[in-house]
Chain A
Amino acid sequence: MNTFNRGVLENNPAWAQLLGLCPLLAVSNSVVNALGLALASGFVLLGSNITISLLRHRIPDVARLPCFVLIIATFTTITVMVLEAFAFTLYLRIALFVQIIVTNCMILGRAEAFASRQPVGAAVLDALGTAVGFAIALLILGGVREILGYGTLLREMDLLFGPAASSWVIDLTSTAPLPLALFPPGAFLLAGLLFALVQGLAKFLTPPARDLNAVPAKTIDYEK
C-alpha cells in the first residue's frame, strides 16, 4: 500500500509535484466539472499504466516515448468519445481539457518513471494512488471555488449522474461570497493558498530530520 499512499500524499501530482495544473485550474470552478475531469484523468492514467506495464518487455527502448504517447492518446480519445456519448453537456464544457490529458506530464511521468519498470499490480496501485491524489486536489479546489463563486455545493450534478441528481444541490448563501473565485485569477489564488496549507500541514505533522536521525548509527574517524 506504500505505492498507493505515496501517490495520494507524498508525491501528490497537484500539491507536491505541481503537475497537470492547466486543467486543474481551468476546470475546477465547480464540483461536477472537477469530478468529470478527475474521472477522465483517472481512467486514462489507469488504462495507460496497465497497458504500458503489460507491454513493458515489448516496447522498444529507443521508441518508448512515442509508444507511451500513442497509448495515452488512445485512452484519451476513448474517454472523449465516451464522455461525448453519455454526458454530452458536460463534454461541451470540459472537452478541451479532457483532450489535453494526452499532454499531461502527470500521466507521461508515471508511465516513464513507474509503469514501464514495474509489474502490473504495482502499476495499478501507483495509478490509483496518483488518480485519487489528483481527484482530491481537484474536488477540494472545485468545492471551495463553487462555494465562493456560486454560494452552492454540488450544483448541476445531473450533468454526470442523470436528472435525479439535480436535487443534490446545497444552497449555502443567497449571494456569491466571492465571484472572483470562478475566474482564472481566483483559481490561481485559491490553488496557491490550498497548496501552501497542505505543505504547512505536512511540515507540521512530519517530525524534523534531526529527530529521525538523533543518534548516528556509526561514528567515522576521518583521521584514519
Chain B
Amino acid sequence: MTSPALNWRSLVSLVLIAGFCGTALVWVNGITAPRIETQRQEQARALMNSLLLPEQRIELKTLESWRGDTLSACTDWWLLRLSENGYAGPIEFLAYWQTFEGDLPSVIKLRVLNHLETPGIGDFIDHERSDYLPDRDNWTLTEWQTADTLSGATITHNALKRVADSLAQYMDSDAQTQFCSDQLSPTKEHAQ
C-alpha cells in the first residue's frame, strides 16, 4: 500500500495555512501583549508588597526601577528575580533576602511568579494554591538546604533548593557593596 506523496500544490497549501496561523497569532499578540505585560507587572508589584514589612514598603516606593534582576534600597532587604528549571519548564521566582545585625543568619522568602509544574503534584510552590512557601517565610539558607525533599515532586523541590543556593551566592557581601556603590553612582544606566 502506498500513501500519496506531497506534491508542490500541497506544499504551497501547507505554507499558506502556516502563514495564516502565524499572521493570526502575531495580530492577536499585538493587541494583547501590552495588557498582559501590565497585568504581570501588577502581579509582581503585589507580590513584592506582600513580602516586605511596612517600613520596607515605604522604601520600595522611593525606588524607581530594578537594576538587572535586583531591587534594593541598600538597607537590610533585597528583592531578586531568579529562574530555575522545574519539572515541566522554567520556574520564575521572586526572592526576598533579609539581613540582620550581628551574626544572625539571613532570612529567605520565596514566591513563584510563573511556573508550569504539574497540578496536584508540583504546584505546591504556587502560593495561590498552597501555603507551602508562605509557611516557610522565616527559613534561613541552612533550613532550605537541609529541608526534606517532597516525595513525588523531587525535581520541583530541588529547584527551590537551587534558588536558595543561587540567592546566597549572589548576595554575598561583595555583591551587595558593588550593587550599592553602583546604585549611588548617577552615571550608571538603570535597567527596568
Task: Tell me the interface secondary structure of chain B in the complex.
Answer: helix
Residues of A within 8 A of B119 (CB): 26, 96
The 8 Å CB contact of B36, one of A55, A70, A81, is A81
Contact (Cβ within 8 A) B25 A77: yes
Contact (Cβ within 8 A) B28 A63: no
Residues of A within 8 A of B6 (CB): 60, 62-63
Asked if B45 is at the interface (CB within 8 A of a chain A CB), the reply is no
Are A78 and B39 also in contact (CB < 8 A) when A62-B3, A63-B6, A67-B17 are?
A: no
Interface residues in A1-42 (C-beta closer than 8 Å to B): 26
Instruction: Using C-beta atoms within 8 Å of the partner chain, give the interface range for chain A.
Output: 20 to 34
Are A70 and B18 also in contact (CB < 8 A) when A26-B119, A62-B4, A81-B36 are?
A: yes
Contact (Cβ within 8 A) B16 A92: no
Contact (Cβ within 8 A) A88 B18: no
Interface size on B, residues (CB 8 A): 27
> Given the complex of chains A and B, what is the CA–CA distance between A96 and B116 in angstroms?
8
Contact (Cβ within 8 A) B36 A85: yes
Asked if A224 is at the interface (CB within 8 A of a chain B CB), the reply is no
Contact (Cβ within 8 A) A184 B32: no
Residues of B within 8 A of A81 (CB): 28-29, 32-33, 36
Asked if A74 is at the interface (CB within 8 A of a chain B CB), the reply is yes
Are A78 and B25 also in contact (CB < 8 A) when A60-B10, A60-B13, A96-B119 are?
A: yes
Q: B4, B10, B16, B43 — which one has the most chain A CB atoms within 10 A of its CB?
A: B10
Are A58 and B17 also in contact (CB < 8 A) when A84-B39, A85-B35 are?
A: yes
Contact (Cβ within 8 A) B25 A82: no
Asked if A140 is at the interface (CB within 8 A of a chain B CB), the reply is no
> Given the complex of chains A and B, what is the CA–CA distance between A67 and B11 in angstroms?
12
Binding site for A on B (CB under 8 A): 3-6, 9-10, 13-14, 16-18, 21, 24-25, 28-29, 31-33, 35-36, 39, 43, 116, 119-120, 128
Report 16 cross-chain contacts, Cβ distance below 8 Å, ordered by A residue. A58-B17, A60-B13, A60-B14, A62-B5, A67-B17, A70-B21, A71-B17, A71-B21, A78-B25, A78-B28, A81-B29, A84-B36, A85-B31, A85-B32, A86-B32, A96-B116
